[in-house]
Structure 1
């Protein structure tokens, strides 16, 4: 077995690879040991996944959805006690309860108020630039490998395919530096779908590949309603924009499948 990124012999690797980080609620999209070697696995966790997870919008999303890290902690965020007292907000990973830490220099102002409103940020800047594109390139390459994992011959072809080297190199080494990603929200973060067993399920993440009429391959990944699309073969998304225009801006994730999405009721 060889690593799909660096191509070294990886049969002795001891770590499975999560295509999406566990910190985004992923427990099932996992590649077996050795598909990504331990060295690349550790590198991605520190240099590619962590910057993405620490982006304001992702950190706030993880806080509001109560998504813990591998260590079982939901990330904290900074809120305000109306109008201008900053507080650090914490969410318990087990029961979802909230707590707040107030800087000592604001104790007297807080004590002087009989009541006040707690304001929590709901937006924040989405990841951009190389932080986003390297993360998505990594997820795209691993998602392709996941489709080939049961055919050793096809997986070997995938590993040796020079046409995928730019994608691999961008994910693993940040080269080339610039790689465009198309980003848009396609449904609410609280969207849900009806499962085969009749139960409602929140759409946490979903992905698929799109082959355009120009024979370009794009990978689309939605995370809590935000769709990210990347060109597998090169650093532009012109073909994806053309496909969107020709298909009334429909998402390749669900337009062919007629996935019905509904708003989840507000959390109490």
Structure 2
């Protein structure tokens, strides 16, 4: 991908996706730093809106910018703080769709990069060309549909002796898979939420039918691949 396109995606898509309330909060909860090594500030409510800032010792600072709210706290007028929790991003969002499309193309390039002529294959195959065009110019096009669902909680931990001697965390996992009628899909799991997009067409009906036929299993997680230790639920 050229530098100009990289800068476009970073500013116009990735930055805007990461600034969405869900992605801001999930990164805050899980201490995920930005490229500038900053953990996003989240929001709380105690007599009004306040900022929540993570410390390096995993504590949380409550930042009160309003003098009125600060005075209410000092006077004991408010004693409880509410921390809203976003369970998932807003569904059917074009920015997220383009974000997934971009990652799908990068995943395909990585997958096929060991094959001779892979570059021409990615560039000239009509399906990849359409998805690439959508990722770059999707604000002018109809949305390329995707599937979104939670398949495990973001605080769950897993057991598999082939991977780790003890419980481990999975922040993300992804793969390309052929499903119904040899249709190619890209599957991305972030913090327990599965996002799926078709490489070959902008509809997602085929994947939804596949889920019904396969008991709603995730196509990139094998049965009995790992045991799950259920974590604390935020929602």
Q: TM-score, normalised by structure 2?
A: 0.89
**Aligned pair in 2 of structure 1 residues 225, 232: CA closer, same or farther (>3 Å)?**
same
SS at match of 1:137: helix
Equivalent positions of 1:1-268 (< 5 A) are 36-81=1-46, 84-92=47-55, 94-102=56-64, 103-113=66-76, 116-123=79-86, 126-127=89-90, 128-174=92-138, 175-195=140-160, 196-256=163-223, 258-264=225-231
Separation of aligned partners in 2, 1:188 and 1:157 = 37
Unaligned runs of 5+ in 1: 1-35
Q: CA deviation at 1:252?
A: 0.6
CA offset digits 1:194-220 (Å, max 9, x no partner): 353413211100012221231211111
RMSD over aligned CA atoms reads: 2.1
| Structure with more of its chain in helix, by fraction | 2
Separation of aligned partners in 2, 1:137 and 1:242 = 21
**Aligned pair in 2 of structure 1 residues 257, 165: CA closer, same or farther (>3 Å)?**
farther
Separation of aligned partners in 1, 2:108 and 2:177 = 12
Asked if the contact 1:208–1:252 (Cα under 8 Å) also holds between the matched residues in 2, the reply is no
**Aligned pair in 2 of structure 1 residues 88, 112: CA closer, same or farther (>3 Å)?**
same
SS at match of 2:61: strand
Separation of aligned partners in 2, 1:141 and 1:48 = 15
Separation of aligned partners in 2, 1:44 and 1:257 = 37
Q: CA deviation at 1:50?
A: 1.1
User: Structure 1 segments of 4 or more deviating over 4 A?
Assistant: none
SS at match of 1:202: coil
Counterpart of 1:32 in structure 2 is none
Asked if the contact 1:56–1:124 (Cα under 8 Å) also holds between the matched residues in 2, the reply is no
Separation of aligned partners in 2, 1:232 and 1:182 = 13
Q: TM-score, normalised by structure 1?
A: 0.79
